[in-house]
Amino acid sequence: MMELIVALITAFLMLSGALFALVAAIGVNRFPDLYTRMHAASKAGTIGSGLLLLAVGIHSADISILARTIAGFFFFILTAPISAHLLARAAHIAGYKLCDVSVIDELKITES
């Protein structure tokens, strides 16, 4: 019975992680400029890879591997959005323009 519960949890985490990764990939391909693409990759991609990592840790049935996957999950959650923000800011400073449908440039307001 316990093996079935672990298998169901693992399957749920894998499917939801794969779904988030798919949404991130679609966002990277469909969004018009660098900033919106970075948003899709940093948010949905981070959660997708983190959920897949947790699925691997639970499936391993080893507490030391599970502890490392949980640490890796928190590392993804803490670092990926920050690094994407810093990369977007560097692209803005370098002069990369927003697409035409963007309404407001908040970074331009803070830099003046």
Cβ distance 69 to 20 under 8 Å?
Answer: no
- Calculate the average pLDDT of the chain: 88
Separation of alpha carbons 61 and 90, rounded Å: 42
Cβ atoms of 24 and 16 closer than 8 Å: no
pLDDT in tens, 73-112: 999 889 988 998 898 888 888 888 888 777 777 767 665 5
Ramachandran angles phi, psi of 6, nearest 5°? -65, -40
Structural domain of residue 27, as residue ranges?
A: 2-111
What are the pLDDT digits (tens) for 9-45?
Answer: 999 999 999 999 999 999 999 998 888 888 888 888 8
Give the contacts of 60 (CB within 8 A, at least 6 positions apart). 66, 69
Give the pLDDT of residue 38.
Answer: 87
Domain count, the chain: 1
